[in-house]
Structure 1
Amino acid sequence: MANTNKTYFLVSSWDFPKGSVCLGSLTSSPEQPHITLFKPGDGDIDTTTFPTTKDDYTGVVRSEKGDKGGLFFRFLDLFGLGAEASVKYDRKAVLKYSFKHMHTEWFIPSEDLVKKAVQSKRAASHLKRIAYDSPLYMITGLKIVEGASVTTLKNKGKDFTAFLGVDAGPVSVGPQASHNSQSTELQTFSNSTPIVFAFQLMEVRCDAKGNVSTMAYNTGALFGLDVDSGLPAEELEKTVAKEVTSEVLKKEFGDAFSASASIDEEDGSPCVVIVPVTATTA
């Protein structure tokens, strides 16, 4: 199975602390991944999970040259510095961003887990209410970032520098700003809790007879897996993925999302980022 692009949905704000979105949970809408119809218990995820971590990353984006930046940069570009210090960037700026840790974990749900999820009381009630006409969505991957910082240098002699700190210890809530009348303005934001900023999905369809089918939201082969992934061949063969484009998203979700190319800062590989459109107009 060839190595191909991964696909990530961005969350809709900074308000998703670690644990608010979890692997194996089932939701009726990718716009609200934290509102679940099923959340797995201890021992429910009985298949292999694949965790990776990237430490001490720094990236520089020169927007005037058309750089798209990485996946986490796309999140920053949408939401600024967080709810308490909402700052949009000058897109003609030179932007430097970094983080202390980025953790990614994903898995391929077992048939037993998927069936347990759709047969759970809340999920079964929801499916019956909508006459099984719409799919549900299982969270199959998460990206969590900790210790982020951002620096933006504006043109025309004016500097704007902003920092995000996700540190252990007391929480410092809200912006702290100082202003130099000549050229410089400083704003800081700190938050002690790591945040979920992106996730991966699997579509789950169920009919009134209990037949269940799944399809991963991914551009090509599921998460770039190959025969050396350690998963049984039958699991790889059962995993179905579809290419995700803006046209596909519009057909399935209306104008809620758009898709574009990006880079996964964790390993430098190309990926597809699915952006909540409502965030770009807020």
Structure 2
Amino acid sequence: MALERQKFYFFPPTRETPPSTTIKLGNIITLPRNADEPLNSPPLPIDTTTMEVFEHEIKDYKVTIDHSATNTIGIWASFLMQILGLGGDVGGEHSNTDKEEWKCESLKTVWFTPSPAYIVKSLENSAVKEFLKENRNWLSNSKVYMITGIKIAYGASGVIVYAKKKGLNLHLGVNATNLGVPVEGGPNFGVTRERSVTEEIGGKEPFVLAFRMRRIKVSSKGDVENKIVTGGMLSLGSDEEGEEPVRLVVDGVEDEDADADEFEIENSWNIKEDGDTAMSEPIACAMSLEL
């Protein structure tokens, strides 16, 4: 039985954010997908006499990310053969596949655990206070996220592949048994179009590969609660609020507290680090209509 590890790190919106720019420790963001748009810029300085900042480095790091989604639709009318002697089946498929592979000379992780006093003081930022005031839920509570960990890729090279596929299948049937001929059959037609783009990137400048965060809730009475966001980026799951997150699995890249809407993610992802493998079935939607 494999050991299930907690996952804590998420991919940012792009792979174009240099370290020490828009994604920093102590940044407060509105949603995980807005990781590079902090409300408090610059963030409150971290007092290392009361909060320790940790660092860890991995050499020769590799990560592969697969993203796939397949949607199918079918309309069948074969039952009409028994009535009219004519019928047909129509089926269509639409799929998207994205894949990224990154090889890094080193991956550096920097993180800290904010104290309650640091969190409260960070909430005093005018932009943060305004956001919390204007974005209360039906219970008059509001929430934001604080970035508490960052993974930085150095000396990275990568290959990115985007592929799309569209297909249409048509089957026309004729039932000739009513005419005294024991035959059911008809022609099949099909067409498929595929398109793909491949990018190769070498000698990339350092960039933020992933980030970790805490969710901060502020009640109508002004009480502040915070908890680590878990679940991981790049593999779908659900949290206690019934939300659907996406996970990464880099010593932890996840979230069971952030939902698909917050990430603007609707499809399934697979991730493989170095020699590890991870598999999941692509999401498929099907519909059948009776005519």
**Class of the TM-score when normalised by the shorter of the 2 chains:** 0.5 to 0.7
Correspondence for 1:74: 65
Amino acid at match of 2:218: C
Q: Is the 8 A contact 1:217 1:243 kept in 2?
A: no
Contact 1:23 1:106 (8 Å CA) reproduced: yes
- Residue number among 200, 211, 217 corresponding to 1:162 in the alignment: 200
Q: 2:132 corresponds to which residue?
A: 127
CA contact (8 A) 1:203 1:217 kept: yes
For 2:65, what is the secondary structure of its paired residue? helix
Shift of 1:136: 0.2
Contact 2:238 2:244 in 1 (8 A): no
2:237 paired with 1:248: no
Q: Give the aligned partner of residue 115 of structure 2.
A: 110
What whole-Å deviation, never above 9, does each CA across 1:79-102 have from its counterpart, x for those lacking one? xxxxxxxxx9986xxx97521121
* 1:50 alignment partner in structure 2: 54
Q: Percent identity of the aligned residues?
A: 23
Partner of 2:213: 201
1:40 aligned residue (34, 43, 47)? 43
Deviation at 1:129, TM superposition (A): 1.7
8 Å contact kept, 1:118–1:206: no
Structure 2 residue matching 1:165: 3-state secondary structure: strand
3-state SS of paired residue (1:257)? coil
For residue 154 of structure 2, the aligned residue among 146, 167, 172 is 146
Q: What is the match of residue 16 of structure 2?
A: 15
**Contact 1:139 1:201 (8 Å CA) reproduced:** yes
Aligned residues: 189
SS at match of 1:54: strand
Residues 213 and 12 of structure 1: CA distance in aligned 2, closer, same or farther (over 3 Å): same
What SS does structure 2 have at the residue aligned with 1:112? helix
The alpha carbon displacement at 1:106 in A equals: 1.6
- SS of the aligned residue for 2:130 comes to helix
Provide structure 1 residue ranges, at least 5 long, that are not aligned to the other structure: 60-69, 79-87, 153-159, 167-192, 221-241, 272-282
For residues 12 and 115 of structure 2, the distance between their equivalents in structure 1, rounded to whole angstroms, comes to: 25
Q: CA deviation at 1:116?
A: 0.7
Q: Tell me how far 1:206 sits from its aligned partner.
A: 0.6
Aligned to 1:198, what secondary structure does the other structure show?
A: strand
Other structure's SS at 2:157 match: strand
Moved more, 195-204 or 206-215: 206-215
How far off is 1:44 after superposition? 4.1
Matched residue type, 1:101: S
Given residue 74 of structure 1, which amino acid in structure 2 is its aligned partner?
I
Runs of 5+ unmatched residues, structure 2: 69-95, 161-197, 246-257, 279-291
Q: Residue by residue, what CA displacement relative to the aligned partner does 1:232-258 show, whole Å, maximum 9, x if unpaired?
A: xxxxxxxxxx97599523684527136
Residue 37 of structure 1: CA displacement?
Answer: 1.9
Q: 1:249 to 1:41 in 2, by over 3 A?
A: same
Contact map agreement 2:12 2:211 (CA 8 A) in 1? yes
Match of 2:15, as an amino acid?
W
SS class of match (1:55): strand
Instruction: Mark the CA change 1:206 to 1:100 in structure 2 (over 3 Å): closer, same or farther.
Output: same
Structure with the higher fraction of residues in helix conformation: 1
Structure (1 or 2) with the larger CA radius of gyration: 2
Contact 1:249 1:257 in 2 (8 A): no
Q: Secondary structure at the match of 2:129?
A: helix
Q: Which residue of 1 aligns with 2:165?
A: none
